[in-house]
């Protein structure tokens, strides 16, 4: 049976290696910082619309060129746009390009569109007056201002509409108070880079193009967009990954080589690490389609935990090598019990992260739980093969270290217990009545380079015309419902059309298009303004017959925004339809009356005022509080497990060790000036899991306390090394996680080697 189990295990490992080798493109590293946003949308249609909008934002960035000479600035813009267009996967968006894409889509529906002035003219003037105005305009301005040919728009009405509409597009050219010329344009990704290496390569090429333009034309080039934040965060994460992986790896290798006099134990330890981390990556790809860069950062710290199973297994073998067969059998049972309970408590600690409403924590939970389970299996399945060969360990140094710790902490266990509980009590009082800082702002979760942040703020001051993170959400069952909601908004006291930008700025409603078409009968009907205009110019009636035929052929036809958006890629996804429900977004302009818009949204059922930053902050605050509740539930579940396992309710008192460690760690971190957030709370689940690991092994395997404590010492060193490196990360979320576990796990270790030195308790 064991042979078949090992055969299946090896087959599974080989299959995973082959998959990764033959499909390297499937192993995608995700840098999406939206995974830090709470998942709070239960409506799948709305989630789709929000994802579309967020994806559009992430798929473009803004470039600003600023110079003292207007002509030189425009030349720099043209040169930079050409350079960016030549880069793989990028396309510069120009206003003229937007109009060029827009024009062929709306031209077949040109009889459906009117400006407000044209609308009034059709209602108040007769055919002769309209024809006379068109004739005077033709003689005064000529054909140069026409956006479509004379034969398609003789009176120039549609050209006038297009010119008025294009004037509403945010101008990309402006002059600052200092007299500097500023030109901005957007750049879209036609093919977004797949991985961090490609993203960083493209980032370097963009920087090179900007620097070349800046030097050649003596201008300042700035950029803004999520792409640059993602690259910056990815590079910071990459540095952390290298530090943690290399530091932990070297630490494990050095410890194993110093302690064990054979490469065989090292082989199993490294193999379990590789199996655990590899399976964690594959599980992440199978479930989420990619592995997030932050998951790798946290996952790198698994090295210090995964190696624990090998250490405890080897030390168990060392402790029983001179024992009798009956004693070995009993010791083997104790080991299996300890190993099983240890992995269960670790899985509870990491698995509890999945209960949080943050995608990134769900990904970390999946990666960690699958990695731990596979590492544990590899040790339990392959360990017996390794220990068939003689294994020796240098224990003198470890014994000296342990005796030193115990001389300080374990001479009076009751005093140590009372002192620890006292510190925990003081920590509770400090956390309840002290001035503890909390920060649930997601913008503080990542480390952003000062240069990038300064550039982002400069671009925002020069170009941003919309309120960041604030918009209106409009719902309806039919496109006309969306337009009706906009009309209600514009009629609301204090609100106005100038405050928001939505689909009505690009396209009239279906009903308005039909009414506009009917109004233009004054122009295109027999004897209408077109006939009067042709007669005044001496044009034959047949020359204008195609225009009149086109007018009659367009009857009843309307252009919908969804059709327009499909044909004009530069348009943001302001409207989305899913399962019979339509969702539309209205962007709020800078310096608008936000209170008036919020009041309008409160009064109009179809409109909802959205504040994404405020909502995310409130949701993360809720997550922090609910995380504390979940932590209490986890303690309750583990206490029940301990009581059932040891058949004694008093066994639950073992939880006082990780509980005290957690309280002291949080208090120390708060006192050091760190603002508490959801990641500090979630780290406490691991303090629970790791603490129970030490306590369980110390309690279960006290028949050989010296070797057990040595295994715990090595386990603690590797774990503290991994999580200690996390504590010194430049990324606040990683630092929060690591600092709590570093302090809490140190206390767990001191308690484990100081309070469990007696003979094991016998079970009934």
The DSSP secondary structure of 150-213, one letter per residue, reads TTT-TT-HHHHHHHHHHHTSPPSEEE-TTS-EEEEEEEEESS--SSHHHHHHHHHHHHHHHHHH
DSSP result, 272-310: HHHHHHHHHHHHHHHHHSSEEHHHHHHHHTTHHHHHHHH
* 91: Cα separation from own chain's centroid: 25
Question: In the structure, what pLDDT confidence band is assigned to residue 301 with cuts at 50, 70 and 90?
Answer: low
Look at the block and give the residue holding tokens 């689909």: 503
Give mean pLDDT, residues 396-425. 83
Q: Does the pLDDT of residue 273 top 90, yes or no? A: no
Would you say residue 162 has pLDDT above 70? yes
pLDDT for the residue 664: 95
Q: Where are the domains of the chain?
A: 230-445+647-755
Q: Bridge partners of 221?
A: 65
**Strand-pair partners of 302:** none
Residue 448's contacts (CB-CB under 8 Å, 6 or more residues apart) are 229, 232, 233
Q: Inform me whether the pLDDT recorded for 4 exceeds 50.
A: yes
Q: pLDDT-based confidence at 145, cuts 50/70/90?
A: low
Reported as a single tens digit per residue, the pLDDT across 209-233 is 999 999 999 999 998 888 888 788 7
Question: Which residues on adjacent β-strands are paired with residue 582?
Answer: 476, 577
Lowest mean pLDDT among 52-66, 228-242, 328-342, 502-516: 328-342
> In the block, which residue shows the tokens 């006192």?
671
Q: Which of 217, 228, 224, 226 is nearest to 77 (CA)?
A: 217
What is the pLDDT, as a whole number, of residue 142?
46
Answer whether residue 759 shows pLDDT above 50.
no
Q: What would the pLDDT profile of 466-501 be if each residue is shown by its tens digit? A: 777 788 999 999 889 999 999 999 999 999 888 998
Q: What's the residue count for the chain? A: 764
Mean pLDDT for 8-37 is 72
Over residues 631-680, the pLDDT tens digits come to: 888 888 888 888 887 788 888 888 999 999 999 999 999 998 888 988 88
Q: How do residues 738-754 score in pLDDT, each as one tens digit?
A: 889 889 988 988 888 88
Residue 409 pLDDT level (bands cut at 50, 70, 90): confident
**Would you place residue 143 in the very low, low, confident or very high pLDDT band (cuts 50, 70, 90)?**
very low
- pLDDT of residue 379 exceeding 80, the answer is yes
**Average pLDDT, stretch 437-456?**
77
pLDDT beyond 90 at 422: yes
Query: What is the pLDDT, as a whole number, of residue 459?
Result: 82
C-beta separation of 693 from 358 below 8 A: no
What is the rounded average pLDDT for all residues in the chain? Answer: 80
* Model pLDDT, residue 65: 92
Residue 486 has what pLDDT?
92
State how far the Cα of 390 lies from the Cα of 531, in Å rounded to an integer. 107
Measure the CA–CA gap between 244 and 627, rounded to whole angstroms.
26
**H or E stretch at 63:** strand 60-67
**pTM assigned to the model:** 0.69
Maximum distance among all Cα pairs of the chain, rounded to whole angstroms: 120
- Asked if the model's pLDDT at residue 570 lies above 50, the reply is yes
579-609 tens-digit pLDDT: 778 999 898 887 889 999 999 999 999 999 9
Tell me, what's the pLDDT at 195?
Answer: 72
Q: What is the mean pLDDT of residues 358-364?
A: 81
- Output the pLDDT for position 205: 94
Question: Which is higher by pLDDT, 730 or 567?
Answer: 567
pLDDT, position 40: 56
pLDDT tier at 426, thresholds 50, 70, 90: very high
């Amino acid at each position: 049976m064991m042979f078949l189990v090992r055969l299946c295990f090896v087959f599974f490992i080989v299959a995973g290696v082959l998959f990764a080798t033959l499909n390297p493109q499937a192993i995608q590293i995700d840098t999406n910082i939206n995974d830090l946003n709470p998942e709070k949308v239960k409506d799948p249609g709305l989630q789709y619309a929000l994802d579309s909008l967020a994806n559009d934002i992430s798929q473009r960035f803004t470039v600003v060129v600023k110079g003292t000479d207007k002509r030189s600035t425009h030349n720099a813009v043209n040169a930079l746009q050409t350079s960016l267009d030549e880069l793989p996967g990028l396309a510069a968006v120009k206003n003229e390009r937007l109009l060029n894409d827009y024009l062929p889509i709306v031209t077949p529906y040109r009889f459906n569109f009117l400006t407000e002035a044209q609308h009034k003219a059709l209602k108040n003037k007769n055919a002769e007056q309209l024809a006379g105005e068109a004739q005077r305009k033709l003689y005064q301005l000529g054909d140069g201002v026409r956006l479509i040919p004379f034969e398609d728009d003789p009176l120039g009405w549609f050209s006038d509409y297009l010119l008025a509409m294009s004037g509403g597009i945010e101008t990309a050219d402006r002059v600052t108070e200092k007299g500097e010329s500023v030109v901005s344009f957007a750049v879209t990704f036609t093919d977004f880079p797949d991985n961090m290496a490609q993203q960083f390569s493209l980032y370097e090429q963009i920087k090179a193009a900007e620097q070349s333009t800046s030097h050649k034309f003596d201008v300042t080039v700035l950029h803004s967009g999520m792409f640059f934040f993602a690259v910056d965060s990815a590079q910071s994460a990459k540095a952390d990954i290298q530090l943690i992986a290399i530091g932990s790896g070297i630490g494990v290798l050095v410890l194993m080589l110093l302690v064990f006099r054979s490469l065989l134990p090292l082989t199993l330890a490294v193999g379990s690490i590789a199996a655990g981390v590899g399976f964690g990556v594959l599980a992440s790809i199978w479930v989420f389609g990619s592995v997030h860069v932050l998951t790798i950062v946290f996952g790198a710290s698994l090295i210090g935990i995964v190696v624990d199973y090998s250490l405890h297994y080897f030390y168990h073998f060392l402790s029983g090598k001179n024992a009798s067969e009956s004693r070995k059998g009993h010791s083997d049972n104790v080991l299996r019990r300890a190993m099983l309970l240890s992995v269960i408590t670790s899985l509870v600690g990491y698995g509890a992260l999945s209960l949080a409403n943050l995608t990134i924590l769900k990904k970390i939970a999946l990666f960690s739980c699958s990695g731990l389970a596979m590492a544990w299996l590899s040790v339990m399945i392959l360990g017996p093969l390794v220990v068939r060969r003689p294994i020796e360990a240098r224990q003198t140094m470890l014994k000296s270290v342990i005796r030193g710790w115990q001389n300080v902490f374990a001479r009076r266990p009751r005093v140590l217990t009372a002192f620890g509980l006292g510190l925990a009590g003081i920590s509770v009082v400090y956390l309840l009545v002290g001035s503890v800082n909390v920060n649930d702002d997601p913008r503080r979760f990542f480390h952003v380079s000062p240069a990038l942040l300064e550039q982002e703020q400069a671009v925002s001051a020069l170009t941003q015309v919309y309120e960041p993170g604030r918009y209106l959400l409009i719902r309806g069952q039919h496109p006309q419902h969306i337009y009706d909601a906009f009309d209600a908004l514009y009629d609301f006291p204090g609100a106005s059309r100038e405050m928001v930008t939505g689909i009505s700025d690009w396209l009239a409603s279906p009903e308005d298009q039909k009414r506009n078409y009917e109004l233009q009968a004054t122009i295109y009907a027999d004897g209408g303004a077109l006939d009067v205009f042709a007669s005044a110019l001496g044009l034959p009636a047949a020359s204008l017959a195609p225009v009149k035929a086109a007018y009659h052929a367009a009857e009843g036809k309307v252009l919908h925004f969804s059709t327009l958006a499909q044909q004009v890629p530069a348009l943001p996804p302001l409207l989305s339809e899913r399962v019979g429900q339509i969702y539309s977004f209205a962007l709020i302009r800078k310096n608008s009356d936000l209170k008036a818009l919020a009041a309008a949204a409160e009064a109009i059922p179809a409109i909802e005022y959205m504040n994404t930053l405020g909502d995310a902050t409130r949701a993360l605050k809720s997550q922090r509080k609910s995380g504390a509740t979940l932590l209490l539930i986890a303690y309750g579940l583990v206490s029940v497990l301990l009581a059932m396992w040891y058949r004694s309710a008093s066994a639950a008192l073992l939880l006082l060790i990780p509980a005290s460690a957690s309280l002291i760690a949080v208090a120390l971190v708060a006192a050091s000036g760190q603002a508490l957030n959801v990641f500090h709370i979630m780290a406490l689940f691991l303090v629970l899991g790791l603490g129970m690991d030490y306590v369980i092994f110390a309690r279960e395997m006290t028949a050989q306390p010296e070797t057990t404590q040595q295994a715990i010492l090595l386990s603690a060193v590797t774990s503290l090394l991994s999580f200690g490196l996390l504590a010194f990360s430049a990324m606040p979320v990683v630092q929060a996680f690591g600092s709590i576990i570093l302090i809490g796990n140190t206390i767990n270790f001191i308690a484990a080697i100081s309070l469990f030195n007696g003979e094991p308790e016998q079970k009934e």
